């Protein structure tokens, strides 16, 4: 039996970057695990029509205004069929409404209702209170640096286009 080849070592010049990336990967996995814990145990989900996965959809409509389903799915980096199901729930809860597209009457736009805006603001306020309490012991400069670096990481993740060979055997 032939032993599988060990992964190739990173080139010497990149070894330090690879180690940092590995450490970041471990911290990101830990972060996602903690966020999931936080959502279910600390910031208990509301029963007012917003499941956790629909929150970004409502937020996008609140911040960016009405948009078509496909544009909304693209904005939140999600599959249109998933967004369609989540939007149906938000519509039936009275948090989102379908409006005629003024540019193309055959299409519809999705828009947050006044009730959707109010609920989003309430959920955002609760999230902000928890984060403010969490960061209360941090130095103000560290808080601002965290926001800056986290925003930079999110932007880089959004625009990252991996080489096809790097996604084989992807571990999530």
Give the start-to-end residue ranges of the domains of the chain: 52-117
Tens-place pLDDT, residues 139-156: 999 999 999 999 999 999
Residue positions counted in the chain:
172
Mean pLDDT of 12-40: 86
Mean pLDDT of 120-131: 91
**What pLDDT is stored for residue 78 in this prediction?**
92
Residue 131 has pLDDT above 50, yes or no: yes
**Cα 98 from Cα 109, distance rounded (Å):** 6
Cα separation values, 171 from 25, 43, 164, Å: 11, 28, 14
Q: Left (φ > 0), alpha (ψ -120 to 50) or beta: where does 162 sit?
A: beta
Higher pLDDT, 165 or 101: 101
**What pTM does this model have?**
0.76
**Cα 82 from Cα 61, distance rounded (Å):** 16
In terms of DSSP bridges, do strands 108-112 and 96-100 run parallel, antiparallel, or are they unpaired? antiparallel
By the 8 A CB rule, do 113 and 121 touch?
no
Q: What is the CATH number of domain 52-117?
A: 1.10.10.10
């Amino acid at each position: 039996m032939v032993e599988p080849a060990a992964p190739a070592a990173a080139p010497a010049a990149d070894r330090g970057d690879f180690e940092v990336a590995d450490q970041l990967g471990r911290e990101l996995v830990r972060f996602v695990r903690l966020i999931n814990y936080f959502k279910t145990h600390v910031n208990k989900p509301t029963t007012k029509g917003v499941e956790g996965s629909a929150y970004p959809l409502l937020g996008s409509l609140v911040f960016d205004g009405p948009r078509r389903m496909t544009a909304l799915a693209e904005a939140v980096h999600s599959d249109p069929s998933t967004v369609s199901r989540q939007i149906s729930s938000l519509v039936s809860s009275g948090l989102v409404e379908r409006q005629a597209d003024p540019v193309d009457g055959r299409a519809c736009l999705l828009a947050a209702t006044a009730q959707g805006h109010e609920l989003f603001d309430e959920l955002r306020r609760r999230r902000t209170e928890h984060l403010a309490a969490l960061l209360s012991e941090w130095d103000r400069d560290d808080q601002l640096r965290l926001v800056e670096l986290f925003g930079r990481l999110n932007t880089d993740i959004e625009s990252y286009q991996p080489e096809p060979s790097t996604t084989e055997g992807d571990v999530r």
